[in-house]
Structure 1
Amino acid sequence: MAGAFLVTGFTPRWVAVGVAQTVLYLLPNAVLAAGIQGLGDAGQPLLLAGGGALTVALFALLAVGTLRVTRSLARTRGESVFAVGVVQTAAAFALTVAPLPSLVGGVCGGLVAGLGGREMTEGLDVPRRNLLRSAGVAAGTLGLAGVLGVRDGMGSGGAGPDTDATVDDPLVEALLSTAEERSLAVPGVEGLVSSSFYEVDKNSANPRVNRESWSLRVTGAVEEPTEFDFADIAGRPAHHRFVSLRCVGDPVNGRKTDNALWTGVPITDLVEEAGVDAEEGCCVMLRADDGYYEEFPLEALDGGFLAYGMNGLDLPRGHGYPVRALIPGHWGEINVKWLTEIEILEEPATGYWEKQGWHGTGPVSTVAKIHATDTSGDSVVVGGHAYAGTRGVSAVEVSTDGGETWTEADLSAPLPGAVAADADPADIGGEADDAWRMWRHEYDSETNHEVVARAVEADGTVQPREERSAYPRGATGWVSVEVFP
């Protein structure tokens, strides 16, 4: 395992990640749903830790089993060591389909067995110093990977996003400054641009995609299948858009709703070039480099966006570098990251999470979240964010008596609308079509009480009170918290 890590770094080609993904695949849908909702952000690290432990146990058992077989066949020490390496190489390849990491891991496995001494390979009690020597090989290999700064691994896909870059676009700076100016001062609540945007996907490690060799195909029920490389997309007239995303597994007052400024081009421009017959096509299947796929109605593609920038920088790996999809007003699961194919379907199909029992391909539910209850001053301050997808938020109402009476909270000004990337900063204006707003309410109270919040959509529709858990269609309901002045 240590040898494979030296080659792969923390990528999907590492054998421990392969084991973790296998465990994830084998989990029953009910257990998977409970884990997503109950463990939250801790789920993936725990899965990876479990995968690592299983990997160590698996390869230790393989080594012991191989040595027993070679002893029974009266093989030499060299033949036994070679056999351990071959078996572990084959097992690693079966889990990862990555030849070089599997080979290096197998060589290291054989080396560990060999350094255990003659006693290990010939079946006698193994002296402590030999066990320590074997363990030292594994620890040293991991240490070497750390010293060399191995993270993406050798030959893992070429250059990734420039993580040292800074924003130097005056228009982007103006847009981000506008968002900061329009953010409300709510203690403990981040502003209108998320400083830590949530990440949810099916992977224990993010895929490493080389932008230079990456391409996007438009296939299926089209007049002519078409393929675009990154230069084709980045060379088109670009726009900046504020867009919010909400995970379908986000509890009603959870933390998996965020907002960013994205840079990219309209999806429909590329699809139209391939020639789509609206009468023949019913649905769209978006496919990703990591094998992920999601299906949704064709009409939802209108207004869709191919984003390759985030907050003025390259799209981060965790958000789909080099290109991801943004589908207006829909749950996060169809905003596919690491996008490689747009397939136009003639008949409905089942997406990845739908096979796991989720049904999050539709529009998001409206919500007003309460993420701050500050009682440190002379008055009480409550606040948070409100989001209704493309339906928009026109108001947030707050009740300080458990829902008996309501008061309209202060609401942040809408974020600016989409703007061409070559526009003058003075041209910033309009309203974002699919972005959250902040709200804040300050009042006096000296007794314990329940605060309830609800959002009002742009057309006057009040957020429904009906409560529903996140699984399987996304959480709904009013948010309420107890306040103790």
Structure 2
Amino acid sequence: MGPSPTTQKERFARGSLAGLLAGILATLIMLLLSLTIGGVSLPEALGSAIAQFLPLPLFDYLHQTLGGDAKHYLFYIILVGQCLVFALFGGLCNLLIDRLKFGQWRDEQGDLQYSVGLMLAFVLWLFTGLIFLPLTGSGIFGAQLSTGVMSTMLSLAITGIAYGLLFIFMHNWLTWRALKASANADLETDATFLDKQQQRRAFLRNGIVVVGLSALGVAAWRFIVGAASGGSGATTRDPQLQSSLVDKYQAKISPPPVPNYGEVQSVADLSSEITSNDKFYGVSKNLASDPTVDGGSWSLSVDGLVAQPFSLTYKELTALPTHEQYETLMCISNEVGGEYMSNARWEGIALKDLLQKAGDIKPGATKVVLHAADNYSDSIHLSKALEPTTMVAIKMNGQTLPSAHGYPARLLVPGIYGMKHVKWITHIEIVNTDYKGYWQQNGWSDPAPVKMTSRIDTPRDGTKVTANKPTYIAGVAFSGNKGISQVEVSLDGGKQWQKAVLKRPLSALTWVLWEVPWQPQAGNHSIIVRAIDLQGNVQTPQIASPLPDGSSGYHTVSVNAS
């Protein structure tokens, strides 16, 4: 065997650096395969497993600290970890090849043969499919994943071969550099030689640092952009004021107020009555990419405790009689004043009509379970499923349901938080058990009724307005399927409340746009908003975080008039 690194430390360092560089490229290939052909994404599989088993207090802390982007940060951390594992694997491989006397796999100059890379790919393929994926709950070679066994095996093979061959290429390139440096050693002083050794070690460290900083940079950018585009203001921050609001709170007004419908002026920053598809909020369990479903091969099965199970192709589903409804969706993780709330015009088939096609429902049935293409699942009570407004939607704002919002079909369940509105539905199952879905297993509410909320869209928190110039305080209010009868604004800490003008809503299932004319005097102002539903229930001032039942409290913004 030809020249080789003189020490185990140097062999390990060279293998680790080759493994890191090859691992970064192989990881990019893995993600590309996941996005294009539906291949497996190991960071997604591990991230889902971690999120599923996080202790509830830690989950709540991370959600409070990082918000909805917490899953993205987890993905970036796992991504960096995967690259570092590739580096470790490369270092160990370079040591074991000589330790196990596989010398015939090096040429005269110490270069590794490409057959070593193929062997490395095979070992990684077996380890990932038979050990790693089962440990994440994904089954042998991803049997429990939506990607399926064959797609998982294929994408893992491509990624492994890419890593193995790139590892050999990088290793041999580094070996060539070392030989070149050795050939010129007699022209260098000892100090210069030592300096080059230090540079090579620094190169390894810097490679790791670059990967880490790149991921952190992306995470920081997402955080900055999210903060800039997020909701304004917060719940009431003054403890004394909060105590006063709670003390004066009247839970219900009887009879309910008569809605003060009128014309709402067009004001900058006030939410559109209909949210465009591209601006409609999106949340899913997936860390990086949502599923891309082929409508041509997709089918929807309806079974369980029914007399006549059946399935429908996309063409058959879209041929069924449909109806339209305007409905607002809100995520259970939405903070008070947050942006995870949007309104759209939906078209689809009533879920009860689909269930009736399956014949009589057998005695004892209590819940309807919805299964999705990304292995997500959730359930609703049978009585809720039979309500006429519970819909399997196929269109959104007059367009075919976008992929990001559940194409080919998604569920709509008015009055319940968005996690129950399952996207990318593939299977509807009637059961007689108290089925707990993905988020319920993480500690979130199972009934999940929407809590009444109101939000100030304008003025934004921390902004300046012109003193003594007429302007407007405006926003939206939402109460699930209970409607809104009144919105009130206070400028004096809740001592007095001014009724807002309401724009007549598009349906009883949507948010209401509201507006109050205002001519601010010079100085600092704290604006508080609350709502009352059509049954006379008053929005609670009691502050609660989203986990586990949804947030509550009064949205408050502070502005300066000058």
- TM-score normalised per structure 2: 0.69
Aligned counterpart in structure 2 of residue 191 of structure 1, from 272, 278, 282: 272
CA distance in 2, matches of 1:120, 1:441: 69
Which residue of 1 is the match for residue 65 of structure 2? 38
Which residue of 2 is the match for residue 160 of structure 1? none
Asked if the contact 1:240–1:261 (Cα under 8 Å) also holds between the matched residues in 2, the reply is yes
Aligned counterpart in structure 1 of residue 382 of structure 2, from 286, 298, 301: 298
Aligned counterpart in structure 1 of residue 126 of structure 2, from 61, 84, 90: 90
| Mapped pair 1:9 → 2:35 | yes
Aligned-pair distance for 1:365? 0.7
CA distance in 2, matches of 1:82, 1:12: 20
Which residue of 2 is the match for residue 468 of structure 1? 544
Asked if the contact 2:52–2:442 (Cα under 8 Å) also holds between the matched residues in 1, the reply is no
What's the C-alpha RMSD, in Å, of the aligned pairs?
3.0
Aligned-pair distance for 1:22? 4.0
| Mapped pair 1:63 → 2:154 | no
With over 3 angstroms needed to count, the CA separation of the structure-2 counterparts of 1:245 and 1:6, relative to structure 1, is closer
Which residue of 1 is the match for residue 361 of structure 2? 277
Aligned counterpart in structure 2 of residue 369 of structure 1, from 455, 460, 463: 455
CA distance in 1, matches of 2:456, 2:377: 33
| Mapped pair 1:314 → 2:400 | yes
With over 3 angstroms needed to count, the CA separation of the structure-2 counterparts of 1:116 and 1:479, relative to structure 1, is closer
Residue type of the alignment partner of 2:535:
D
Which structure: greater helix fraction?
2
Which residue of 1 is the match for residue 228 of structure 2? none
Deviations 1:180-228 (CA, angstroms, capped at 9, x unpaired) = x987523223211124111111102101211111111222221122212
CA distance in 1, matches of 2:493, 2:368: 43
CA distance in 1, matches of 2:559, 2:504: 27
CA distance in 2, matches of 1:323, 1:473: 26
Which residue of 1 is the match for residue 535 of structure 2? 459
Residue type of the alignment partner of 1:474:
G
Asked if the contact 1:37–1:249 (Cα under 8 Å) also holds between the matched residues in 2, the reply is no
Asked if the contact 1:245–1:258 (Cα under 8 Å) also holds between the matched residues in 2, the reply is yes
CA distance in 1, matches of 2:319, 2:496: 54
Residue type of the alignment partner of 2:525:
H
| Mapped pair 1:404 → 2:498 | no
CA distance in 1, matches of 2:86, 2:285: 25
Structure 1 residues 443-452 or 244-253, which shifts more? 443-452
What SS is found at the alignment partner of 2:459?
Answer: strand
What SS is found at the alignment partner of 1:328?
Answer: coil
Which structure 1 residue ranges, 5 or more long, are not aligned? 137-180, 416-431
Matches within 5 A, 1:11-410: 13-75=40-102, 76=105, 77-78=112-113, 79-93=115-129, 94-95=132-133, 97=142, 98-118=152-172, 184-195=265-276, 196-204=279-287, 205-277=289-361, 280-301=364-385, 302=387, 303-373=389-459, 376-377=465-466, 378-410=469-501
Asked if the contact 1:360–1:472 (Cα under 8 Å) also holds between the matched residues in 2, the reply is no
With over 3 angstroms needed to count, the CA separation of the structure-2 counterparts of 1:6 and 1:359, relative to structure 1, is closer
What SS is found at the alignment partner of 1:343?
Answer: strand
Aligned-pair distance for 1:360? 4.8
Asked if the contact 1:251–1:475 (Cα under 8 Å) also holds between the matched residues in 2, the reply is yes
Aligned-pair distance for 1:333? 1.0
Structure 1 residues 440-449 or 262-271, which shifts more? 440-449
CA distance in 1, matches of 2:548, 2:314: 35
| Mapped pair 1:438 → 2:513 | yes
Deviations 1:246-268 (CA, angstroms, capped at 9, x unpaired) = 11111122111111111211111
Aligned-pair distance for 1:66? 2.6
Percentage identity across paired residues of the two chains: 28
Which has the greater radius of gyration? 2
Aligned-pair distance for 1:474? 0.8
CA distance in 2, matches of 1:191, 1:208: 29
Aligned-pair distance for 1:400? 1.4
Deviations 1:294-341 (CA, angstroms, capped at 9, x unpaired) = 122211111211111111222122211111000111111111011112
Which structure 2 residue ranges, 5 or more long, are not aligned? 1-26, 106-111, 134-140, 143-151, 182-195, 208-261
CA distance in 2, matches of 1:216, 1:442: 50
Deviations 1:381-408 (CA, angstroms, capped at 9, x unpaired) = 2221110111111221111111111111
Asked if the contact 1:23–1:51 (Cα under 8 Å) also holds between the matched residues in 2, the reply is no
Asked if the contact 1:246–1:332 (Cα under 8 Å) also holds between the matched residues in 2, the reply is yes
Structure 1 residues 50-59 or 29-38, which shifts more? 29-38
Structure 1 residues 318-327 or 373-382, which shifts more? 373-382
With over 3 angstroms needed to count, the CA separation of the structure-2 counterparts of 1:81 and 1:402, relative to structure 1, is same
